């Protein structure tokens, strides 16, 4: 690793960010260096999206493999043609309906966009995030900002500035601390380069929302377990993973909780420290079986999503050896939650 640099931390009001600080951060971006900033989904690790050396710094800081492409963030729909060519009408329809928001669109890459943001693909991922800090930073920089989630590769995404500093402190120039992010899981990635709009990663914008504008949209669920480049790179199974070994249970809720409790007791008897990641209503069934962490009420999938990555990091900090968690259904955000849970568990799903 390079010798550490001093990471500046600027605390900002998420609703009214100080323009002087934004201007200083924008200078750092224009200078080809790295600034982490909050979006409505998770914190991003930003660099000038039109500069190959700046993007190279992102890969180095994150220890991210070069075959995993990065999203470019813009502050206005009018900036889309700076990044993409042959943009289909449906992209503009979707942008008008769902931007700023948690939707990333894969489009044909424009000539001025460096190869390395796209890991060599002829496409580019573009998103217009909501949130005043992100919008102000991008607008002030005057260039699109490339930003993957601001975590070390394969670690849970960062939803607070403290998470960013934990993973990337000393490796990046600055962090804009705007408090905890609102959605807590990443954007939905939608590929618009083929015949049929295809969701490559479920996220903060739901399939229903997209289908209202693009009715033929489908979801392609595919997990890759090795380093082979593919048309949807970055879909490796190991992702968002805590240090602890995680298992995700699915099935009828009462049976799932029984099985989790039994397993927790068995593992504890073997001397392992067990973390349990559950809904508020699960608590009575599971109390005493391990370190219990409540994500939120069962019917509040937004709250559960918002808390997920912080919970994984907190259980790691509590030095648990194993994390047992469960499925939260396939309604709404449940789809994206399931995706993140299975990845965090590196595919260890127990069907009860
Ligand atoms: O909410 C989010 O999307 C956050 C915030 C910071 O915007 N960003 C984020 O970036 O989650 P990252 O790098 O952690 O995930 C980007 C995903 C990866 O799965 C990557 O493979 C995919 O988008 N992606 C990026 N460019 C792509 C491309 N040209 N073709 C296919 N997939 C692409
Ligand atoms: Mg990520």
- Pick the residue whose CA is nearest to atom 18 on ligand 1: 234
> What is the model's pLDDT at position 230?
42
pLDDT of amino acid 65: 87
User: Whole-prediction pTM value?
Assistant: 0.95
The total number of residues shown for the chain amounts to 352
Give the CATH number of the domain where residue 154 resides: 3.90.870.10
Q: Is 210 in the pocket of ligand 1 (CB under 6 A)?
A: no
Report angle CA 164, 170, 173 to the nearest 5 degrees: 80
CA dist 331 and 202 (Å) reads 12
Residue 315: C-alpha distances to residues 26, 261, 291 (Å):
35, 17, 8
Domain-located, residue 227: no
Do the beta carbons of residue 184 and residue 308 sit within 8 Å? yes
Q: Is 123 in the pocket of ligand 1 (CB under 6 A)?
A: yes
The span from the CA of 156 to the CA of 308, in Å, is 9
Q: How far is CA 106 from CA 17, 143, 208, 232, 284, in A?
A: 30, 19, 19, 10, 44
Cβ atoms within 10 Å, residue 334: 17
Q: What is the pLDDT of residue 228?
A: 39
**pLDDT at res. 221:** 67
Q: Angle, to 10 degrees, between the axis of helix 301-317 and the axis of helix 161-168?
A: 40
CA distance 55 to 74: 16
pLDDT attached to residue 231:
40
CA 148 to ligand 2 center in whole angstroms: 6
| 250 closest CA partner among 337, 156, 155 | 337
Q: Is residue 228 part of a domain?
A: no
Do 145 and 24 fall within a single domain? yes
**Does the residue 3 lie in any domain?**
no
Block mean pLDDT (10 aa), the chain, length 352: 85 97 98 98 98 97 91 98 97 98 98 96 97 97 98 92 97 98 98 97 97 97 46 52 91 97 97 97 93 96 98 95 96 96 94 96
Measured from the CB, is residue 116 less than 6 Å from ligand 1?
A: no
340 lines ligand 1 (CB under 6 A): no
CATH number at residue 303: 3.40.50.11030
Q: Is 83 in the pocket of ligand 1 (CB under 6 A)?
A: no
Instruction: Single out the residue in 183, 203, 219 at which a domain terminates.
Output: 219
With the most atoms of ligand 1 within 8 angstroms of its CB, the residue from 63, 69, 161, 183 to mutate is 69
pLDDT on residue 3: 75
Alpha helices per DSSP H over 110-156: 132-141
- Residue 151 CA, closest ligand 1 atom number: 14
User: Does the beta carbon of 144 sit less than 6 angstroms from any atom of ligand 1?
Assistant: no
Query: Are 69 and 233 in contact, with CB atoms under 8 Å apart?
Result: yes
**Does residue 19 sit within a domain?**
yes
Say if 32 falls within a structural domain.
Answer: yes
- Are residue 211 and residue 285 in the same domain, yes or no? no
The finding on whether 70 has its CB within 6 A of some atom of ligand 1 is: yes
CB 108 within 8 Å of CB 80: no
Burial class (CB in 10 A: 0-12, 13-18, 19+), 251: middle
What are the residues whose beta carbons fall under 8 Å from the beta carbon of 210, sequence distance 6 or more? 94, 98, 103, 188, 190, 197, 199, 217
- Specify whether 203 is located in the same domain as 313: no
Tokens of 183: 């959605």
Residues 330, 279 share a domain: yes
* Structural domain count, the chain: 2
Closest listed ligand to the CA of 222:
1
Which atom in ligand 1 lies closest to the alpha carbon of residue 183?
1
What spacing in Å lies between the alpha carbon of 200 and ligand 1's midpoint?
10
The last residue of a domain, from among 177, 202, 219: 219
What would the DSSP string read from start to end of 5-59? Answer: ---EEEE--SSS--HHHHHHHHHHHHTT--EEEE-SSSEEEEEETT-HHHHHHHH
């Amino acid at each position: 690793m390079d010798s550490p640099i001093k990471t500046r931390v600027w605390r900002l009001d998420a609703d009214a960010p100080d323009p002087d600080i934004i201007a200083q951060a924008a200078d750092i971006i224009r200078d080809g260096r790295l600034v982490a900033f909050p979006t409505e989904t998770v914190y991003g690790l930003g660099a000038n999206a039109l500069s190959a050396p700046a993007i190279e710094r992102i890969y180095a800081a994150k220890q991210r493999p070069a075959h995993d492409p990065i999203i470019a963030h813009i502050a206005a729909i009018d900036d889309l043609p700076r990044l993409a060519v042959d943009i289909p009408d449906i992209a503009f329809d979707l942008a008008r309906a769902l931007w700023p928001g948690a939707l990333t669109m894969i489009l044909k890459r424009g000539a001025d966009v460096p190869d390395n943001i796209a890991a060599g693909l002829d496409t580019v991922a573009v998103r217009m995030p909501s949130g005043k800090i992100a919008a102000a930073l991008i607008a002030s920089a005057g260039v699109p900002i490339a930003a993957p989630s601001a975590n070390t590769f394969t670690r849970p995404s960062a939803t607070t500035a403290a998470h960013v500093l934990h993973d990337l402190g000393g490796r990046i120039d600055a962090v804009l601390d705007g408090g905890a992010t609102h959605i807590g899981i990443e954007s939905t990635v939608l590929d618009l380069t083929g015949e049929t709009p295809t969701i490559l990663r479920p996220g903060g914008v739901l399939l229903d929302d997209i289908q209202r504008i693009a009715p033929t949209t489908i979801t392609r669920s595919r997990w890759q377990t090795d380093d082979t480049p593919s048309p949807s790179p970055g879909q490796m199974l190991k992702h968002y993973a805590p240090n602890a070994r995680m298992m995700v249970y699915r099935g009828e809720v009462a049976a799932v909780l029984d099985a989790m409790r039994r397993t927790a007791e068995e593992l504890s008897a073997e001397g392992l420290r067990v973390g349990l990641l559950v809904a508020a209503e699960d608590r009575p069934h599971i109390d005493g079986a391990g370190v219990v962490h409540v994500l939120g009420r069962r019917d509040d999938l937004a709250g559960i999503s918002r808390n997920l990555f912080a919970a994984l990091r907190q259980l790691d900090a509590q030095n648990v050896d194993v994390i047992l968690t469960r499925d939260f259904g396939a309604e709404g955000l449940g789809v994206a939650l399931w995706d993140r849970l299975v990845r965090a568990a590196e595919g260890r799903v127990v069907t009860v």
